[in-house]
């Protein structure tokens, strides 16, 4: 019997571009379920073996090893499905932070059906650095506090994550300007997501 592949939209964009903000907003709309890889990591007990290992990598601004990332992500997602927080037959999964490199593309292929990719774009790197540092102060996020770590994350993104987009058909990728207000970005994003949600999960209309 074939495994179920979750119907998924991928959120892409450089650090600080607003993936988490858009994902959290979308996650409040019925029919969408947002899961951030970063949130999965931050939910770990920092004193647990997994938590200590994840923090070791994040504090240096480098990616958590692929097999560990996918293991923790899938375990978390399956638990959410068991608890019915995430309903695979009703919810469109919005993934933020996975896949992060070419190897992860292969590792998640058995678990997700990528229907659409929202690529949030902002050419102003300095604006993104400022946004991340401001977020670090507001949310007390130690992994975002140091500028050298922030810039290292941008370099990792350019080298390892941007090439992921080339592995997916171009017709699945939709660029959205990330420099508007959250509401403006949301409106543009929903313009792509709503038709897909309707097509995948549309209920039969009463006669």
Give the global pTM: 0.84
C-alpha distances (whole Å) from 1 to each of 4, 74, 82, 158 are: 9, 19, 19, 39
User: What is the token pair recorded at 68?
Assistant: 């560990």
CA–CA separation, 5 and 182 (whole Å) = 30
Backbone φ, ψ for residue 114 (5° rounding)? -80, 110
Which of 58-67, 124-133, 149-158, 166-175 has the highest mean predicted lDDT (pLDDT)?
A: 166-175
Tokens 């350019």: give the residue.
158
Q: Distance between CA 205 and CA 52 in Å, rounded?
A: 51
Predicted confidence (pLDDT) per residue in 121-152, tens digit: 988 878 788 778 777 777 766 656 677 888 88
Candidate CATH numbers 3.40.50.1820, 1.20.120.1200, 3.10.450.40, 3.40.50.300; the one for domain 6-200: 3.40.50.300
What are the boundaries of each domain within the chain? Answer: 6-200
pLDDT category of residue 182 using cuts at 50, 70 and 90: very high
Tell me phi and psi for residue 136, to 5 degrees. -60, -40
Sheet strands side by side (includes 92-96): 32-36, 92-96, 6-12, 112-121, 173-177
Distance in angstroms (rounded) separating the CA atoms of residues 83 and 99: 24
Q: What are the tens digits of pLDDT across the range 98-115?
A: 998 999 999 999 999 999
Nearest to 7 by CA among 93, 106, 80, 105: 93
């Amino acid at each position: 019997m074939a495994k179920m592949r979750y119907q998924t939209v991928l959120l892409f964009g450089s650090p600080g571009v607003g993936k988490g903000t858009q994902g959290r907003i979308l996650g409040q709309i019925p029919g969408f379920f947002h899961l951030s890889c970063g949130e999965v990591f931050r939910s770990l007990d920092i004193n647990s073996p997994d938590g200590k290992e994840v923090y070791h990598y994040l504090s240096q601004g480098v990616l958590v090893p692929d097999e560990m990332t996918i293991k923790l992500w899938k375990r978390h997602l399956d638990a959410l499905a068991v608890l019915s927080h995430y309903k695979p037959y009703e919810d469109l999964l919005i993934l933020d932070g996975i896949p992060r490199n070419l190897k992860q593309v292969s590792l998640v292929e058995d678990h997700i059906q990528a229907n659409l990719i929202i690529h949030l774009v902002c050419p102003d790197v300095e604006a993104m650095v400022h946004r991340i540092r401001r977020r670090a102060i507001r949310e007390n996020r130690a992994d975002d506090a140091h500028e050298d770590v922030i810039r290292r994350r941008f370099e990792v993104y350019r080298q390892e994550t941007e090439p992921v987009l080339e592995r997916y058909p171009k017709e699945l990728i939709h660029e959205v300007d990330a420099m508007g207000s959250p509401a403006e970005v949301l409106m543009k994003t929903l313009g792509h997501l709503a038709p897909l949600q309707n097509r995948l999960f549309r209920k039969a209309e009463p006669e």
